[in-house]
């Protein structure tokens, strides 16, 4: 934890401190930021990082031994009255406090502190602001994480190529069989994932979260492969690839539309960086969806344009979203995210997905760019 940088940002944001609160695992964002996600915590704790001075951890006495040596002092409590008293003492003299809260719940990924606790803190006379500017310092990648991501990308490409080869060798293969082939490749490379890859044929590809079945591939159908993985302790890579067995012309047209939407989103981010500006997540989503709406696919867009990448495949950083949420956070250097526009018609669905890492000079696409349906 870089306290100097954190406290510098607090000064810029004019906050007196950042209060990281969780009841057990109720605030995964705070747990991830503090490196506590692997611990079995069942009681309330609070970790205050002040704008000046050293932090303080307040935790239940029976869980004190579970916490690693976080910077600063420790205080413990035994009962709820003690927790409230210690919390009041900890916050005494402070006026403006950051925590995992977003006004109106605009970004639910970050709205992790419950309403009752918000009432409690406001009752102490505190003005509450969102901690998202501070969290950006934890959501950006160093060079070690970027290197781990690149190795994960290589694994995804190998698994994707194995799936395509298997389909060519076994034209009646089922979704489940293709999924199994990719799982074996990923596991053989030592990669891990929170859920096996998605495989969808034909109409099943119209469901963005389809669960593979024993349906065999048939002539005239598209194939959607969506796979994600990381090294143990690393950060994720995420890739979607489209193929087809004599797919209809409508599928080719739809895929070219999502490719154009993807490329316009990438162009928009690159141009913003050339202008010295960090675009907002919602702005990129609007650009990509605007392309699809202009071509008549607006009613068939069912999800945001992209999501943050981190230790979880759907990270807590800025998403490319003005559809499901209004993500106003800036895309600053060091962040990584997907760009994955898709359209989902009754007969089929198509999506393209690439990963992007933001260097100070602009975006780098770290995964292959698919330009047309791969024909089987």
Domains of the chain, with CATH numbers? 3-138 (3.40.350.10), 140-375 (3.90.230.10)
Alpha helices in 106-248 (DSSP H): 115-123, 132-139, 143-169, 175-188
Interacting residues of 20 by C-beta distance below 8 A, sequence separation 6+: 27, 30, 33, 34, 46, 47, 48, 49, 99, 100, 131
Interacting residues of 38 by C-beta distance below 8 A, sequence separation 6+: none
Measured between alpha carbons, how far is 176 from 306 in angstroms, rounded to an integer?
Answer: 26
pLDDT band for 42, please (50, 70, 90 cuts). Answer: very high
Measured between alpha carbons, how far is 82 from 95 in angstroms, rounded to an integer?
Answer: 22
Interacting residues of 114 by C-beta distance below 8 A, sequence separation 6+: 23, 26
pLDDT tens digits, one per residue of 158-209? 999 999 999 999 989 999 999 999 999 999 999 999 999 999 999 999 999 9
Across 296-313, average pLDDT: 97
- Reported in sequence order, the residue ranges of 159-289 that DSSP labels E, i.e. its strands, are 198-201, 221-229, 237-245
- Torsion angles phi and psi, residue 359, rounded to 5: -85, 165
pLDDT band for 1, please (50, 70, 90 cuts). Answer: confident
- Structure-token pair, residue 224: 């959607």
Q: What is the pLDDT of residue 8?
A: 95
Measured between alpha carbons, how far is 217 from 171 in angstroms, rounded to an integer?
Answer: 7
Single out the residue of 348, 278, 291, 288 nearest to residue 318, CA to CA: 278
Query: Average per-residue pLDDT in the chain?
Result: 97
- Torsion angles phi and psi, residue 287, rounded to 5: -60, -50
DSSP helix, strand, coil percent of the chain (3-state; round to 5): 40, 25, 40
Q: How far is CA 55 from CA 52, 70, 72, in A?
A: 9, 9, 5
Region of poorest pLDDT, from 104-113, 285-294, 334-343, 348-357: 104-113
Question: The tokens 């005494």 sit on which residue?
Answer: 92
Across 136-164, average pLDDT: 97
Give 311-355 as a DSSP string: SSSS-SS--B-SSSS----B--TT-EEEE--EEE-SS-EEE-BEE
pLDDT tens digits, one per residue of 46-87? 999 999 999 999 999 999 999 999 999 999 999 999 999 999
pLDDT tens digits, one per residue of 219-249? 999 999 999 999 999 999 999 999 999 999 9
Q: What is the pLDDT of residue 171?
A: 87
Q: Which residues of 91-109 are buried (b: 16+ CB within 10 A; e: fewer)?
A: beebeebbbbbbeeeebeb
């Amino acid at each position: 934890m870089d306290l100097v940088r954190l406290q510098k940002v607090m000064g810029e944001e004019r906050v007196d401190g950042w209060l990281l609160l969780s009841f057990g695992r109720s605030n995964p964002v705070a747990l991830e930021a503090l490196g506590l996600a692997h611990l079995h915590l069942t009681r309330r704790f609070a970790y205050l990082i002040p704008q000046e001075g050293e932090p303080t951890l307040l935790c239940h006495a029976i869980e004190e031994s579970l916490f690693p040596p976080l910077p600063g002092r420790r205080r413990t409590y035994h009962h709820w009255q003690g927790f409230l008293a210690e919390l009041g003492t900890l916050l005494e003299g402070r006026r403006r406090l950051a925590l995992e809260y977003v006004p109106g719940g605009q970004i639910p990924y970050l709205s992790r502190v419950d309403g009752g606790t918000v009432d409690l803190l406001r009752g102490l006379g505190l003005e509450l602001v969102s901690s998202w500017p501070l969290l950006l310092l934890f959501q950006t990648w160093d060079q070690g994480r970027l290197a781990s991501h690149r190795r994960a990308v290589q694994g995804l490409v190998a698994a994707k190529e194995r799936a395509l080869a298997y389909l060519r060798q076994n034209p009646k293969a089922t979704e489940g069989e293709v999924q199994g082939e990719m799982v074996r490749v990923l596991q053989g490379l030592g990669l891990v994932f929170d859920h096996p890859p998605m495989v969808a044929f034909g109409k099943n590809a119209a469901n963005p979260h389809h669960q593979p079945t024993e349906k065999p591939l048939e002539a005239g159908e598209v194939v959607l492969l969506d796979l994600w993985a990381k090294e143990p302790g690393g950060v994720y890579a995420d890739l979607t690839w489209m193929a087809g067995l004599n797919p209809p012309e409508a599928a080719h047209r739809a895929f070219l539309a999502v490719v154009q939407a993807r490329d316009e989103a990438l162009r928009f981010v690159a141009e913003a960086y050339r202008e010295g500006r960090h675009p907002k997540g919602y702005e990129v989503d609007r650009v990509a969806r605007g392309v699809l709406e202009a071509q008549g696919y607006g009613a068939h867009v069912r999800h945001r344009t992209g999501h943050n990448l981190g230790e979880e495949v759907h990270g807590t950083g800025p998403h490319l979203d003005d559809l499901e949420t209004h993500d106003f956070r800036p895309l600053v250097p060091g962040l990584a995210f997907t760009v994955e526009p898709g359209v989902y018609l009754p007969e089929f669905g198509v999506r393209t997905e690439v990963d992007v890492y933001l260097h100070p000079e602009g975006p780098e696409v770290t995964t292959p760019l698919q330009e047309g349906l791969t024909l089987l």
